[in-house]
Structure 1
Amino acid sequence: MDDLIRNLMTLGLTEYEARVYAALVGIGEGSARHIHEASKVPRPRVYDIAEGLAARGFITIRRGNPHVYIPVEPAVVIHHLKSAADAAATAAVQGLDALSLDARSKNSPIWYVQGEWSIRRHAESLAMGVTHDLAVVCLDYTQIGEFARLIADASRDHPVSVLLPNGKRGIRKPLGNASLHVPKPFCTFFQENIFERIYCGPLSVDGSTFLLEYIFIADDRVCMIVYREDGVRNAVVITLPFITCVQRQFVNRMIASAERIEGPARAEGGP
């Protein structure tokens, strides 16, 4: 019984709640006196504990003299407790990650990001912080949908340029007012040594394989690079101006020489 009470407490019940509910499951149904005798919870407390459990949908009460308390099916209660615990854990991770993001953005010009939620959170933060314009280099179309809304939202208030080396093939979600571009060769050295070798192909370094997916550049202040290392998705966020300005110049040069194509929204009859 002690292990059961501890497990119920781990799922979010207080000790008295766990004892009252477990006692009811054990006796099937009963009055406050029966619950007190089975649970060892002080009888005056049984009433308010039972009312609280009823309010949460964990027991039902047949009103009378005396009241009779009946437990809801344990599988239903455990599912509810587990869902609530999972939601609380997710909210806690998000809150802590947001605090971490704020702290790192103040204290470090370069930081690494792991986990899908964290990557999306950082990309959203970058897009919301745009003051002039946003540039995006998209090299993995299988994932563009996850950032389509971010790009479309940013394009409502600021110019957004998206470089698509393979054209708009594979893009099924509108990208708002963003201008879409297919890059063209403009410099042999850049084309062969940077674009084709680093941007568009896997890089092998010290036994690991790196593959670039996205580059986001907000103004020329923040650069976020999303990549895969041996198949695992990561990102690096850079605010060091020596790097962000150089990256932005590369992208600006690519945009200047690129062929502009219609975005999906315009292709469907938009202005």
Structure 2
Amino acid sequence: MIDDSLLLELKKIGMSEYEAKVYGILSALRVASAREIHEQTRIPRGRIYETLTSLAEKGFVVSSGKLPVRYSPIDASQTFERLKKESIDSLEGLYQRLKVLETETPEQLMQGYELRTEWTRDTQIRMMLRRAKTEIILLCNDMEFLTRYANDISRAAKRIPLYLVVGREELGGVTQVKCYVGGNDIESSFFHAEAGDAMGISLKLLLMADRRESLSVMEENGTITGVFICPDMYAGYLSRKILQEIEQVERSRKKI
């Protein structure tokens, strides 16, 4: 979560209480909708759009401009280098430069973001499972991850088609949803890399939602990292290939 000391520092550079909370949450999540920001900050819904508009006008965030509208912080290094330079100018000069920024075309929003903390990865995974509208494909070969998200997976499966692909049949018993196993391509590419391809990286989880966004969690030399991509131009193709290869595990065989 965002601690009070960070909020205080953000307010020192001119942000309001709500602006500091929204910007702090977006900096952690990288991409979120107004509703998701409301759920994380508990800021009244009526103030969320007002706050996001204010942050956009000040050059701190950009929106996707497409439905559903998603928001993301502009790169922090660029933002604060600009603020440091502008701090030597008068308030009038700062105001004029911010007004110029309002007329510029926003940088492209949707791209890959590294999710470095457990809280950020956990929150983004749960939000993806909640906001998916048409389809979810989830590849997982880790008992701890399946146990952690079992309830979220079950709730999502009641709304839309959800394909849970596991590396071992017995993992299917962790949740109450249908589970699947893949063929040789899925096994060698995601769960059990061939010796010649081994790079010391193991996949913990791959989540694709609506064939347009993806989140992968990997472990390398004991360090876990996550990558969120939206829109993911390969998600549609990869989703179709996975669905062509998987087969359902009989429930009678899904025992741990």
Pairwise TM-score range, normalised by the shorter structure: 0.5 to 0.7
Which is higher, the Rg of structure 1 or of structure 2?
1
Cα distance in 2 for partners of 1:167, 1:151 equals 17
1:146 and 1:115, CA in 2 relative to 1: closer, same or farther beyond 3 A? same
Cα distance in 1 for partners of 2:130, 2:5 equals 22
* Residue 153 of structure 2: aligned partner: 151
Structure 1 residue 171, shift from structure 2 partner: 4.5
Find the residue that maps to 2:159 and give its secondary structure: coil
1:252 aligns with 2:254: no
Cα distance in 2 for partners of 1:248, 1:90 equals 42
Find the residue that maps to 1:107 and give its secondary structure: coil
1:251 and 1:94, CA in 2 relative to 1: closer, same or farther beyond 3 A? farther
Per-residue CA distance 1:26-78 (angstroms, 9 max, x = gap): xxxxxxxxxxxxxxxxxxxxxxxxxxxxxxxxxxxxxxxxxxxxxxxxxxxxx
Cα distance in 1 for partners of 2:248, 2:116 equals 34
Cα distance in 2 for partners of 1:123, 1:218 equals 10
Find the residue that maps to 1:240 and give its secondary structure: coil
1:157 and 1:198, CA in 2 relative to 1: closer, same or farther beyond 3 A? closer
Cα distance in 2 for partners of 1:94, 1:138 equals 33
Give the structure-1-normalised TM-score: 0.52
User: How do 1:122-271 residues align onto structure 2 when only pairs under 5 Å count?
Assistant: 122-169=124-171, 171-172=173-174, 174-175=175-176, 178-185=177-184, 191=185, 195-201=187-193, 204-205=198-199, 209-255=200-246, 258-262=247-251
Cα distance in 1 for partners of 2:156, 2:183 equals 25
1:249 and 1:166, CA in 2 relative to 1: closer, same or farther beyond 3 A? same
Cα distance in 1 for partners of 2:222, 2:4 equals 26
Q: Tell me the amino acid that sits aligned with residue 215 of structure 1.
A: L
Unaligned ranges ≥5, structure 1:
1-85, 186-190
Unaligned ranges ≥5, structure 2:
8-19, 33-70, 74-107
Does the 8 A contact of 2:172 with 2:179 survive in 1? no
Q: Percent identity?
A: 13
Q: CA RMSD in A?
A: 3.4
Cα distance in 2 for partners of 1:262, 1:232 equals 34
Q: Tell me the amino acid that sits aligned with residue 192 of structure 2.
A: C
Per-residue CA distance 1:180-230 (angstroms, 9 max, x = gap): 112234xxxxx3xx631543238655xxx2111111111201111111122
